[in-house]
Amino acid sequence: VQLQASGGGAVQAGGSLRLSCAASRSIFRISTIAWYHQAPGKPRELVAAITSSGIPNYDDSVKGRFSISRDNANNTVYLQMNSLKPADTGAYYCNAKYHTKGWNFNNYWGQGTLVTVSS
């Protein structure tokens, strides 16, 4: 297994969760790791990403509420989700992507972890 996502659960609006994405060492150190959110009946959308050098990037919908970080010692990326809203409900998937050669990239997906936020 290249990527293993965990940490989902059910919380009330305003609550917090921390998602974890554990990756195999060989891909973790060279990959940009990202979290995607897929709400019921909607396409998968990028939430946050962090480069191999630790530079984070966020979708506007989560800025100030979510924080992405990477633990290089444990080959794990975390997504700290605070001030959760019902709109954050859905499956969260982690993704690892790295450049190989020319215009080519390798792309891996973890299984989803479900987040349910009740009002």
Q: pLDDT by residue (tens digit) across 16-38?
A: 999 999 999 989 999 999 999 99
Give Dmax over CA atoms of the chain in angstroms. Answer: 47
- Three-state DSSP class for residue 95: strand
Give CA–CA dist 80/46, Å, rounded.
15
Structure confidence by residue, pLDDT tens digits, 96-106: 999 999 889 99
